[in-house]
Structure 1
């Protein structure tokens, strides 16, 4: 269920942002950025300010990202879960592309219904002594109630656009968006409940050890010492108490033909 293929995620990300994939082989991806993506990722505000003031169009950069560990010494930028570049991309998605509405591109000369899918990409964070993130992509058919996992991978075979194609018409959803989101969240809840959580047990154990050390250190009962002890106790709990949080990366409504994934 979790999206573990970082390379495919990057392909989808740059393709969805109209960036040309110049090279895509064996865990090495080179893309020609658009001006918008160059501004978002390459940290060149002075360059773009200069070219715009001089009347030039400007030249967006090419970017090579390497996801294959065996290729990390090649020319390009090694990217992995937890790397600053990936965090930048996730932040860009969060800030600028949180919600969208897209239609399948259809070439037809007869009336064709398009069915609404609610697609949610979300991150689940397991926080405690150590932190681990999982990214999920789920799609819910808002008429039939069918749900699919790894939705972004499935969507690779579908061409999308901002406007609806000629002769196509949208079907109104029977499931409201809020209700659909709760269904998706329920699937994630069930997934988490069925996992083993050794990470949480290790966090509780580390928390107990730290508290015992704190009690051992603060043996004096003066008011000042006890106040300092309480402050440190709060900090220890913040650092070690395990919890799980959800964060929606982005999502949207996608209107697709009945046989979009056939």
Structure 2
């Protein structure tokens, strides 16, 4: 479970990676103008974006406030912010969809009786309409409106945080990164640096029965030598990586194809799990048999005394209960890939050096 500080740091890192504009930064909240990519990920506005893509109009992204500590946020703003929903309520309306303030009582009749005049005595000409998307494509639109900034509580388990998790998983499932030079070579120098390739995969291993234990194994394999190293992700974190190929760098050809490298990693994980103490599975199997015996004794007694009309219903319940017990107690191991990537390092300067 993530605490408030970890969520704040995670969301800020996501927004900076998406190149959003941070307008206001506070430990309890962030006010940010989303980039186009982040707006599409977090705000459900398919009609607006289809309109922008069809017409070629410049996009207008939303400005949002993400609240990480609702109590502290309410203390900072006890009366709330005008023009926006309360914390925890999110809207996805496009910018500029505010309400036009009504004129004061009696102003309409006064304006009709005496139109405004300029200093020269002639009536003023109407001001030109502002150059907005609605004004260009739909004619006259109100120019006076109240900006609305949606506010969302981003706490552990919230819908907005789950949206950010989903966006990160979708975009970060596969990466390709290069280690940056410690010192860039001069432009006139023609010497090049060879880079070698590692395939890094983060596996999630789940040991499941009526209890569950989850592990993350980060493995890397050298695509020239076949060397496999554990804790690969931790070894890459201290290094400066970039998605662009640095200057004066070339990547050496791989000797191991990606499908074969994946097969080597899977065999390595299987061998590692084979060395585990599997008494937990044996104990879970005993609990499964005991629970199935208890369920059988219960339903067999019901079936013996059941009427012919209710017997099919009891048999269906019996089969359903056995399937539930099998799913709950049956020991099994599930392995899934969280994410993976190709990482390029200078020769003799792999991830562990």
Q: Is TM more than 0.5 here?
A: yes
Trace 1:218-233 onto structure 2 (pairs within 5 A): 218-219=299-300, 220=303, 224=312, 225-233=314-322
Return the offset for 1:17. Answer: 3.5
Q: Which has the higher strand share?
A: 1
* Counterpart residue number, 1:125: 206
Counterpart check, 1:215 vs 2:296:
yes
Please report the RMSD computed on the Cα atoms of aligned residues, expressed in angstroms: 4.4
Rg (Cα) greater in structure: 2
Equivalent of 1:152 in 229, 233, 246: 233
Trace 1:24-103 onto structure 2 (pairs within 5 A): 36-37=37-38, 39-40=40-41, 42=42, 45=45, 57-58=60-61, 79=156, 91-103=166-178
Question: Does the CA-based 8 Å contact 1:124-1:244 persist in structure 2?
Answer: yes
CA distance in 2, matches of 1:196, 1:74: 48
Number of matched pairs = 247
Are the structure 2 counterparts of residues 201 and 87 from structure 1 closer, same or farther at C-alpha, using a change threshold of 3 Å?
farther
Are the structure 2 counterparts of residues 156 and 172 from structure 1 closer, same or farther at C-alpha, using a change threshold of 3 Å?
same
Return the offset for 1:177. Answer: 1.0
Are the structure 2 counterparts of residues 175 and 56 from structure 1 closer, same or farther at C-alpha, using a change threshold of 3 Å?
closer
Return the offset for 1:218. Answer: 1.4
Return the offset for 1:193. Answer: 2.2
CA distance in 1, matches of 2:72, 2:285: 42
Return the offset for 1:131. Answer: 2.7
CA offset digits 1:118-176 (Å, max 9, x no partner): 01112112222123322222111111222222222221223333331221111111111
Structure 1: segments with no counterpart, 5+ residues: 1-6, 23-27, 66-70
Counterpart check, 1:113 vs 2:179:
no
Secondary structure of 2:256's counterpart equals coil
Return the offset for 1:238. Answer: 1.8
* Counterpart residue number, 1:4: none
* Counterpart residue number, 2:136: none
CA offset digits 1:212-248 (Å, max 9, x no partner): 2211111225762444422321222122212111111
Structure 2: segments with no counterpart, 5+ residues: 1-5, 23-27, 74-152
CA distance in 1, matches of 2:276, 2:67: 36
CA distance in 1, matches of 2:236, 2:174: 16
* Counterpart residue number, 1:142: 223
Secondary structure of 2:237's counterpart equals helix
CA distance in 2, matches of 1:218, 1:45: 53
CA distance in 2, matches of 1:85, 1:201: 41
TM-score with structure 2 length normalisation?
0.54
Higher RCO (C-alpha under 8 Å, 6+ residues apart) = 1
